[in-house]
Chains A and B, each alone.
Chain A
């Protein structure tokens, strides 16, 4: 470590951070002064409209925990676009050797997932921003005797597969159950990995549930409902700890259904929650940017992030749904509402992507 820092000090006397990154890139390397670039080393078709990518990050990667996700950026039509993707593998003991896997479900109308699906190939260079997420075993610390049940819908499987691997690797004998909903048989990811885990761990159970086309010779399982859960979990002796991940609608239903069965529910949603009551009266808001000394007029119906971007002001963002804190900014004057809860924000630190102005505002931008 010391070596690297001293080298950087000397090198820093004649080249700037940006010059270093530029020449590294010209030489075909992902090395960088501080930023974490990652090269795609492999790609495979995982399921319908879904690919898995393995990335090799540069030495600036600080590692992750099973269940976490990262801000991933790609340059699309000249713009650096950032979205969240979950790590699907297990962290490696030596972070220098680390390669990380993600699985991306394509939304043909989406910017990033469609681009990755069509253009990410071995050799493509992406950038990893922050790593986030509290849905980890380290954070939650489930007891060894506690049964865990994972409920995943569609691409919500991604953090689950990683958590399941991590839990099974702990060598516990308590039950680990995965309930996994997908549209049709070809939509399910990680067949080989899940089968290998089933063979290796007798305490692991998987239920694949179809919602549009059934597996051959089986009935359609249908969207999540109470009897399904009763069939799978009814015989278990103790209330399990539940992990739920998928789109907002699935997460909401699953949480309600599991509330009576589970001891605790941990949830993660991949899409913004249904927007809570907006400001009832449409108003123009004067938005002052303190540092850049600009004054803008915005509507109180837009999130601050959307409003700023619409005026050509770039703000760092990641998940755009209030999860990653990337867009957080200090409100120095005025009142905002968090649209995911409908409540007024009380502190000055405000996530712009889920906040709408209520009064005239001053931001520390």
Chain B
């Protein structure tokens, strides 16, 4: 859209930027300990108790206020579990605790997608190749054209509709992302490969669907439908919320995409710079940050994905200072303004558009 607000850096500057960010990370990790453990255990507690309360209220959901409150609580529980707990634990942020239930490699979250697929598409692909066209599938999830650099096709004309559907069904989008159905249809991926991926996913989907739409409703006996509808709406609330937070992380007006060529000889410093230019933050209250899984600090998350997310707030002060020092734009704003920019992108790039000149990462 607009040209970058950041200036191009020399190789030496990039190297120094990398060193400063590395040092900041080491300092923070050295301080991680008991307080962080206590915090994540409190989050687990909040997830479990809100879920219990929500489900209990839905059992008496025949009274409308109980249904509304129960649904909201269950929605909040799922949001907290997916974002502040699951997402962060799967990044290995709490692996140092040696606690099997908080182990990033084995954690399984309350969503139809499997954790194993997520660890691949998100932890590896998205975090390593952030905002690189053709490598980071999170750019539009193969469904949307969010940057003028993406090639326009008539399919995108209806993308406001596709985006709305993706938002409503976001957990399904995440679940099937790694199946790369597009590749299967075009014959670039074999049925056997697809089937190997489908089996564990099928199991997870069945578990999730039976739990929320059969077993819990059955437990409620005559109130089968009130529980079922509550669970459905709770999942929906979670879908909309996560869609909104995640889209604000990389698709605001000033967020940049990169061509594959940035990877040629990419140093640690470059990688940091690319994370910084491709991510955007959200301002808000403490509760808002927690409910976003601290992805409201997307910049800090992308710079330091293995540092416990509750640290991002304090880290942001120093990251901002480093950005200023190196003339880099620190992309942040209110949810309203950032999401507004995302929505604008969805509408604008449904139509053909041409990239503007952006500032290169490196000065020639």
Can you name the residue of chain A whose Cβ is closest to the Cβ of B99? A80
A1-38 at interface with B (beta carbon < 8 Å):
13-14, 16-19, 21-23, 26, 35
Do residues B48 and A22 form an inter-chain contact, with CB atoms below 8 A? Answer: yes
Contact B98 A79, beta carbon cutoff 8 Å: yes
Give the complex CA separation of A73 and B44 in angstroms: 21
Chain B, 77-117, CB within 8 A of any chain A CB = 92, 95-101, 103, 105, 108
B231 to chain A, nearest CB (A): 12
Which A residues lie within 8 Å of B45 (CB)?
Answer: 22
User: Is B210 touching A78 in the complex (CB atoms < 8 A)?
Assistant: no
CB B128 to nearest CB in A, in angstroms, measures 8
Partner of B98, one of A23, A35, A82, A292: A82
In the complex, the answer to whether A80 meets B97 with C-beta atoms within 8 Å is: yes
Q: Which of B96, B128, B211 contacts A13 (CB 8 A)?
A: B211
Q: Does B306 contact A (CB under 8 A)?
A: yes
> A77 at interface (Cβ–Cβ under 8 A)?
yes
Closest to B127 in A: A293
Q: Which of A73, A293, A314 has the most CB of B within 10 A?
A: A314
B161 within 8 Å of A (CB atoms) = no
Contacts A14-B215, A78-B97 known; A312 to B29 CB distance under 8 Å? yes
Q: Which residues of B contact A291 (CB under 8 A)?
A: 105
Q: Does B216 touch A at the CB level, under 8 Å?
A: yes
CB distance from B226 to the nearest CB of A (A): 17
B222 to chain A, nearest CB (A): 19
A interface residue count range (under 10 / 10 to 19 / 20 to 34 / 35 or more): 20 to 34
Specify which chain A residues have a CB less than 8 angstroms from the CB of B99 in the assembled complex: 75, 80
Q: Is the CB of B216 within 8 A of A78?
A: no
Q: Digit string of B327-355 for contact with A (CB within 8 Å is 1, else 0)?
A: 00000000000000000000000000000
* Nearest CB in chain A: distance from B347 CB, A: 37
Question: Is the Cβ of A79 less than 8 Å from the Cβ of B97?
Answer: yes
Q: Is A313 within 8 A of B211, CB to CB?
A: no
Is there contact, CB below 8 Å, between A13 and B37? no
| Nearest CB of chain A from residue B325's CB, rounded to whole Å | 26
Q: Is A81 in the interface zone, CB < 8 Å from B? A: yes
Known pairs A21-B101, A22-B44; A78 contacts B29 (CB<8 A) = no
A81–B34 contact, CB under 8 A?
no
Judge whether B38 is part of the interface by a CB distance below 8 angstroms. yes
Q: Does B124 lie at the interface of the complex (its beta carbon under 8 Å from any beta carbon of A)?
A: yes
Classify the interface of chain B: helix, strand, loop or mixed: helix
User: How far is B310's CA from A16's CA once the two chains are assembled, in angstroms?
Assistant: 25
- In the complex, are the beta carbons of B33 and A77 less than 8 A apart? yes
Contacts of A23 in B (CB 8 A): 48
In the bound complex, how far is the Cα of B81 from the Cα of A16, in angstroms?
Answer: 13
Min CB distance B203 to A, Å, is 12
Instruction: State whether the Cβ of B178 lies closer than 8 Å to any Cβ in chain A.
Output: no
- Asked if B149 is an interface residue, CB under 8 A from chain A, the answer is no
A109 to B44, CA, bound (A): 33
Cβ–Cβ contact B92 & A18, under 8 A: no
Q: Which of B98, B108, B216 has a CB less than 8 Å from the CB of A16?
A: B108
Q: Is the CB of B306 within 8 A of A312?
A: yes
Question: In this complex, what residue of A is CB-closest to B49?
Answer: A26
Closest A residue to B34 by CB, please name it. Answer: A78
Q: Which residues of B contact A21 (CB under 8 A)?
A: 101
Q: Which residue of B lies closest to A34 (CB)?
A: B100
Chain B residues with CB under 8 Å of A314's CB are: 92, 95-98, 103
Q: How far apart sit A318 and B83, CA to CA, in the bound complex (Å)?
A: 32
**How many whole Å from B235's CB to the nearest CB in chain A?**
16
A sample of 22 inter-chain contacts (CB < 8 A) reads A13-B207, A13-B215, A14-B216, A19-B48, A21-B101, A26-B48, A75-B99, A77-B34, A77-B37, A78-B36, A78-B97, A79-B33, A79-B37, A79-B96, A81-B98, A82-B98, A291-B105, A293-B124, A293-B128, A312-B29, A312-B96, A313-B95
Given contacts A80-B99, A312-B29, A314-B97, 15 further A-B contacts (CB under 8 A): A13-B210, A18-B101, A21-B101, A22-B44, A22-B48, A22-B101, A26-B48, A75-B37, A78-B34, A82-B98, A291-B105, A292-B92, A293-B128, A313-B92, A314-B92
Across the A-B interface, give the 9 residue pairs with the lowest CB-CB distance, nearest first.
Answer: A78-B37, A314-B95, A80-B98, A78-B34, A18-B101, A77-B34, A14-B215, A13-B215, A80-B99
